[in-house]
Structures are given as C-alpha cells and as structure tokens.
A and B are shown apart, each in its own frame.
Chain A
Amino acid sequence: KAGVTQTPRYLIKTRGQQVTLSCSPISGHRSVSWYQQTPGQGLQFLFEYFSETQRNKGNFPGRFSGRQFSNSRSEMNVSTLELGDSALYLCASSLVQGANNEQFFGPGTRLTVL
C-alpha cells in the first residue's frame, strides 16, 4: 500500500509570492490534516479536511488556506509569503475524522522563503 505522498518536496519562493502544496493520502483514507514544523515551535496544526470540508482549524492567519478534492487529495495554499513561513509542511492522513485515529504522515514539503 502506497504511503502518503507530498509534492513538491522542496520549494524556494520569495516574499510576497504565493505557493500551493499538494498531499495525496493513503488509498481509502478520507481525512487529511496539515501541520507546520519550525525549529522553535515544533509541529503546529493548520487544518483538517474530511469529505471535502474543513473540519478543524488551527491558529494561523487567513493567508493559509486549503481544500480537499473528491478523491481525498488535498492542497494547501499560502498567499503573500513571509520570511516566517519558511518551514517543513507535513500532511497526515487517517481513515476517518477523529482524534482517536492514528495519523500517517507524508515526507513533507520544505518551503524556504527568501
């Protein structure tokens, strides 16, 4: 069974640009969550999608948005990039929504904002 895949793996952008990251969950998984990892903050929850609807949201500004498609693939968009957005972005999938389900993480997208 293929794992969670994320594209691209590495990305370099400049301040003010926007970026879209993609996540394909494990086949059959319908919930996708996104996390940001920075050296000082650790893993921080961005949002969770289930059945094409955002179910939960973390404490991030509106510049961070996402969506989920009918095949459960998810995209995350960050507009008007700031230097502080440089981070590893991880997505994780689980069978269904609910925090009592283990999450399977992808390899991440390393975003560098110059």
Chain B
Amino acid sequence: ILNVEQSPQSLHVQEGDSTNFTCSFPSSNFYALHWYRWETAKSPEALFVMTLNGDEKKKGRISATLNTKEGYSYLYIKGSQPEDSATYLCAFKGMYSGGGADGLTFGKGTHLIIQP
C-alpha cells in the first residue's frame, strides 16, 4: 500500500500572504506527481503534472517543486486571494504496477482557507 501524505491537513492564511504545503511520497519507484485544486461544489482541476527530479512548474501565482530523490513536492501560493480557498490534492504514480498501485494514489489534501 502506497503512502502519500500531505501536510498540513488544513491551513488558514490571511489574504495577501504567501503560503506553501507539502506532499510526501515514496522516493523509490517514482513515475509522476500530480497536483489538483478542488473547490467546493466543483470538480478537481489539474494544476501540474511533474515527472522529473528538480522540476519546477508555475501557473500564475501558484508554483510547485519536485524532489523525487527524497520523496516530496511543495506547492507555493504567492499573495493568497480568497479565490484560492480550496482543497489541494497531490497524487502519486509509481513506476511499477500491481498491489493496487496501478492508478494514481491521492493524498488526503490540504484544506486552504484564505481569510480576507
């Protein structure tokens, strides 16, 4: 059973502040790491798909980094806005299948609340 951990579980941030959170995954057997944003009453929306160690990706005020050797990815949000309030999910895919690890294994998410 794969272990994908996200921390913190929830986060309250003042509007305008920057924040970051972590996704930890098995450092061996890495294939891909996904980040999704899931707003209440909407569908999860893809933010990034990362496949290479050292990858850095950016979309507007949101960016992510990847360290496959130590098994973690950070998601950064610069200058948080109320519309950033959502649950942020990471999902890991290992190189080898089997044992239920064939698809994406999701973390339980970081619930971000931006306070005006």
With A45-B103, A56-B103 known as contacts, the answer to whether A99 contacts B44 (CB < 8 A) is no
Question: Of residues 60 to 115 in B, which have CB atoms within 8 Å of A's CB atoms?
Answer: 89, 91, 93, 97, 99-100, 102-109
In the complex, which of the residues A45, A58, A92 has the most CB atoms of chain B within 10 Å of its own CB atom?
A45
Which residues of chain A come closer than 8 Å to B105, judged between CB atoms? Answer: 45
Complex contacts, A4 vs chain B, CB 8 Å: 43
Count residues of B near A (Cβ-Cβ below 8 Å): 25
The count of chain A contact residues (Cβ–Cβ below 8 Å) is: 28
Q: Are A102 and B46 in contact (CB under 8 A)?
A: yes
A35 to B106, CA, bound (A): 10
Most interface-central of B89, B102, B103 (chain A CB within 10 A): B103
Please give, as numbers and ranges, the residues of chain A lying within 8 Å of B53 by CB-CB distance. none
**Cα distance, A100 to B77, chains bound together (Å):** 23
* A102 contacts across to B, CB distance below 8 A: 34, 46, 49
Q: Which residues of A contact B44 (CB under 8 A)?
A: 43, 90, 92, 105
CA distance A101 to B103 in the complex (A): 12
Using CB atoms and an 8 Å cutoff, list the residues of chain B in contact with chain A: 31-32, 34, 36, 42-46, 49, 51, 89, 91, 93, 97, 99-100, 102-109
A-B contact pairs, 15 of them (CB 8 A): A4-B43, A33-B104, A42-B108, A43-B89, A45-B103, A45-B105, A90-B43, A90-B44, A99-B31, A99-B103, A103-B104, A105-B43, A105-B44, A105-B45, A107-B43
